[in-house]
Structure formats: C-alpha cells, structure tokens
Amino acid sequence: MRTQVAIIGAGPAGLLLGQLLYKSGVDAVIVEQRSPDYVLGRIRAGVLEQVSMDLLDKAGVGARAHAEGLPHDGIELLFKGQRHRINLHELTGGSRVTVYGQTEVTRDLMDARAAAGLTTVYDAQNVQVHDFNGQHPRVTYEKDGQTHELACDFIAGCDGYHGVCRASAPADLLKTYERVYPFGWLGVLADVPPVSHELIYANTERGFALCSMRSATRSRYYVQVPSTDKIENWTIDQFWAELGNRLDPEARANLVTGPALEMSIAPLRSFVAEPMRFGRMFLAGDAAHIVPPTGAKGLNLAASDVGYLWTALTEFYTEKSAVGIDTYSDRCLRRVWRAERFSWWFTSLMHRFPETGEFGQKIQEAELDYLVNSRAASVSLAENYVGLPMNFGT
C-alpha cells in the first residue's frame, strides 16, 4: 500500500489531521493499534477552545459540536468555602469555550472518515516506523497474522504518550522535560444533572475538586487523590461523599448522585519532547507533550499541532514550499510551552501539595484572592483558559 501521509494513531489528533488533509486533497492512511470501540470508550477531555472549534469547522465536522456543545462564558473558582466567577467572555473581549466531550469529537471525526470512504487500519499490531530520515519512509504492521507495509512521503506520529513514533526517534536528537505530580484525579462520569451550569474548580483543605459536565443530564466530576491511591480503594458512594465535602453548601445541596458510567484514576504529569520533527516524521498531540488536565489544554494542544501540520503539508503539496515543514517544530513548541506553563501554574494553584503544608495552602488562598479581585490577574487567567490565538506573539 502507498499513501502521501501515514498517520499513526486514530485518537483526536490523527483523525483530525486525516480529515483536514482530505479536505485539502492530500491522501492519508491511518494505522491504529486498537479497535474503534476501544478508542471511543476512552472518557477524556471536555473543554474545547475556539481555535479547536474553528479547526473542526475547517475539517467539515463542526456541526454537531455547534448544535449540541454547551457554550460557556465563565468558570467558577471555589476557595475558602466561597465561589467566585471568572467572566471569560467579558475579560477576553468576547471569547468563550465549548463544553463538548472528546468522545463526541472522536465519533464525529470517525463518522466523517467512514462517510468519505477513507482508509483506517484498526487493530494493527507491532506498528513500526522506518527510514523517516531519508526520502522514502515506511510503516510496517501486522494484522490477521500477516505483515503489511505502507510506503509514504511523511509519517505523522499521532500515537499518544505511549506510542511508537517518539520512541523511534534517535535518542541523541531527542530531549525530554518532565514533572510528575504527587497526585492524580479520580474521575466519575454519571447520568445526573450538573451541580451548576458552569464548571467549578475548587481549592480546599481536603484537596482539589472539579465539577464539569457533558450535557444537561450528564456530569463529569473529579477529586484529587494521592498518586499512590488505587481505584479499588473507592466505591461510588465514597466518591460522592468526598466530592460533597469539597464543595460549598449550595453546590453540595445541588449535588445529585447516581451510579458511575465510568470511574478511573488518571496520573498528572507535565512532559515535553523536543524537537517535534525528525526528518520526514512529525510528532503531534500527546505523542510530543502532556499537560496536567487542570487547564483543559491537552486536546486543544493536539488540535493546534495538527493545525500547524496540516498547513505545512498542504503548502508542501500545493505550493512546493517546505517553509511550514521546516518551522513546524518551533511554531508548535512555542505554543506548547505557553500551555505547559499555564497548566503547571493552574495545577500548582489549585491542588494540595503534601510537602508545602498549611503555609502552602495560605499562599494559594492569597493568590486566589488576588486573582479574583485584580482585573489584570483575572484577564491573564481568562485569556489563557479560552486559548491564545494560533499566531499569538508572531
């Protein structure tokens, strides 16, 4: 088999790239190690920046996100038992975010890919990338007991944090930066109405909590737990009790409980791999970087990487220009590090750190007090939360 761009991974990054390239007339095949049901079963992100919504529109798959996604003009910060609203819309001069689940984004992209008759190889085993340092890269994989080869012009490594593409980059060219946090998020998805119509980010002496949602009837909640904690240690009733303990009295009174559709613990990590291009192989999304979920930036960064890569590859094929390809890594990494900084800062502000004790808690409360009462500080939070434009600072 031969294609112009071999995309490794059918998560949101790979699927979005495939759809954008299709719109530009560039041929791509996606190779994914899991089944479609497994990919759709992963419950992850919920908040889309305007930049991501625009890319979904450009890919021709934005209609359902516009129709069913919930536009949010603000978020609430809860500390010292009181909630304070950050008016994202007013502070940013008109921007907002859209609450629409990653599962739904993935489903919309999968449906569009199937409708266009584009090739996705699911359940591919032992995927390997070859010869990306020369002019003729190749991908090999096994399926149904046979080895297959995919010849291509470029490889897009959209295969997530545990993927094969970053692992195949020459070790002497790759530099990684990492911070692992001493806690994770215990998350629950449940068919109950949300406690509030906007997201609540809570800093409490018992640890962080987040009240999010997927729709008017489906809620997504998280509580901070030590990184040593195990999901077997929790029942759903214990989860609801702990969440309630981290909310203000009004939110606690509004909390509707029910059975969990999904319950799992996600570790928190900051990670960046540099560069994001190795010859004719590009990394995009979680394959290149991880942010702690506090700033809701992971999926959005994956989308903006893909936006830059799509532009670069389209320029290459339609204008015979390599400028976008040559600047891809630098352009992405500037945006990545800005999002890494914001996500690290918001994580540090909202979570209980075992080593900083009561002093750390008091400093956080003082910063939160400043944040909600200073317009300058509120604007800084708001403009980062809704997402900086793709050409910011250029």
Q: Which residues are the active-site residues?
A: 72, 201, 293, 297, 385
Place of tokens 């089944």: 35
* Nearer Cβ to ligand PHB (98/329): 98
Least distance to ligand RFL from the beta carbon of 1, Å? 15
Among 212, 219, 304, 378, binds ligand PHB (CB under 6 A): 212
Interacting span for ligand PHB (CB under 6 A) from 45-53, 62-70, 256-264, 302-310: 45-53
Interacting span for ligand RFL (CB under 6 A) from 43-51, 55-63, 308-316, 353-361: 43-51
The SS3 assignment for 118 reads coil
Q: Which amino acid is at 196?
A: S
Among 203, 300, 314, 364, binds ligand RFL (CB under 6 A): 300
Least distance to ligand RFL from the beta carbon of 252, Å? 23
CB atoms within 10 A of CB 132: 24
* Nearer Cβ to ligand RFL (128/380): 128
Residue 219 in the binding site for ligand PHB (CB under 6 A): no
* Nearer Cβ to ligand PHB (282/346): 346
Residue 46 in the binding site for ligand PHB (CB under 6 A): yes
| CA dist 361 → 47, 50, 327 (Å) | 27, 33, 42
- Residue 59 contact partner, candidates ligand PHB, ligand RFL, none, CB within 5 to 8 A by sort of partner: none
Which residues are registered as beta bridge partners of 211? 200, 221
Cβ neighbours of residue 364 under 8 Å, at least 6 residues apart?
A: 79, 203, 349, 350
| CA dist 99 → 196, 198, 308 (Å) | 13, 10, 23
Place of tokens 């699911």: 122
Q: Residue count at the site for ligand RFL (CB under 6 A)? A: 37
Among 101, 137, 184, 187, binds ligand RFL (CB under 6 A): 187
Residue 341 in the binding site for ligand RFL (CB under 6 A): no
Task: Kindly report the backbone phi and psi dihedral angles of residue 209, in degrees, each rounded to the nearest multiple of 5, phi listed first.
Answer: -145, 150
The span from the CA of 247 to the CA of 245, in Å, is 6
Cβ pair 316, 324 in contact under 8 A: yes
253-272 residues in contact with ligand PHB (CB under 6 A) are: none
Among 13, 260, 272, 325, binds ligand RFL (CB under 6 A): 13
In the chain, beta strands by DSSP E: 5-8, 28-31, 47-48, 70-72, 74-79, 82-87, 97-99, 120-121, 125-130, 138-143, 146-151, 154-157, 175-190, 199-203, 209-213, 219-226, 260-274, 277-278, 281-283, 289-290
Binding residues (CB under 6 A) for ligand RFL: these are 8-14, 31-34, 39, 44-47, 102, 124, 127, 158-160, 162-164, 185, 187, 266, 285-286, 293, 296-300, 302
Residues near ligand PHB, by CB under 6 A = 45-47, 199, 210, 212, 220, 293-294, 296
